[in-house]
Amino acid sequence: MTNAPRKPDSLMRRLDRLWQRWPVYAPTVRARLGQYALLMRWDRPIGALLLLWPMLWALWLAGNGRPNAGVVAVFVSGVWVMRSAGCVINDYLDRHVDAFVERTRDRPLAAGRVLPQEALALFGLLMGVALVLALLSNRMTLLLAFGGAFLAATYPLMKRYTHLPQVYLGAAFGWAVPMAWAGQTGQFPPPLAWLVFLTAVVWAVIYDTQYAMVDRDDDLKIGVKSTAILFGEQDRAILAALQGLMVLALFLIGRQAGLGWPYFLSLAGVVALFAYQQRLMRDRSRAGAFAAFRNNNWVGGVVFAGILGAYLV
């Protein structure tokens, strides 16, 4: 008597066996997800916050203090996703350089805990999520999103060819401003939106130069370019000039948007924070420069609080 052919397992049986073996797989899965989270800098949200603040400024200005809640949710999610994607592609392109920099040598790709092909797959997944979020908005926002994706994907290459990668980063981070304005209004952003965009670019040059000051010695050894290297011993003086330019731009934004006294009071807070940053950088130590960089989160929050207060009054 011949044996009857074995019937293939049903989908439910396969899932049941997988569920029974989950305790074996779980530690490995958790470990891999943990490395991906580190690759996306989920343990260091300061970068996402610095990207988030100008976008929130733009949404509240475009919505006259009452932006659409759905638009806010989409753009906050988009900021988080695009910042994560930017970190992943940055580490992929810099994986051979990061190993020689004190601050970055323990990153998952540089340390070999994540494979390059894994990083590319994660980057593709994040960009797909970003595209879905863009599709939830209007046509103008979707068109602008392609420009933002290009800037985010190409920024990591700039440090190889120019001493001004911080300016390019400012454009990549600041691109959330015209996108948010278009998302709120459905129209091409007006001059006020581009003034906010330029302000965000100047701000990014300030804080990313402070960030680059931390790595300046290592970057000089391996040939990576930055504004911190370009500015040299004049770094604090040039940063002070840029900080003054940003305060002036913020003042012009308030005048053009017709904001009230709470906003202009917040600018006094910005001036005080910038003065504190200069004090932190007075000896140009790594710790001082990094503390000045982190302090910029307060700058963004104070400006946003001023905008909220102006509309509430």
CATH fold of the domain at 22-312: Tetracycline Repressor; domain 2 (1.10.357)
- CA distances 164 to 121, 200, 208, 217, 220, Å, are 29, 15, 11, 17, 15
Q: How far apart are CA 109 and CA 39, in angstroms?
A: 8
Q: How far apart are CA 288 and CA 2, in angstroms?
A: 80
80 DSSP 8-state letter: H
Count of CB atoms situated within 10 Å of the CB of 100? 14
Count of CB atoms situated within 10 Å of the CB of 119? 22
Domain segments of the chain as ranges = 22-312
22 pLDDT higher than 50: no
- CA distances 280 to 76, 236, 286, 289, 302, Å, are 31, 11, 10, 7, 19
The mean-pLDDT minimum among 36-40, 104-108, 114-118, 156-160 falls in: 156-160
**Which pLDDT value is given to residue 24?**
43
State both tokens at 137.
């908005």
**Which pLDDT value is given to residue 17?**
64
Greater confidence, 47 or 183? 183
Model confidence, pTM:
0.85
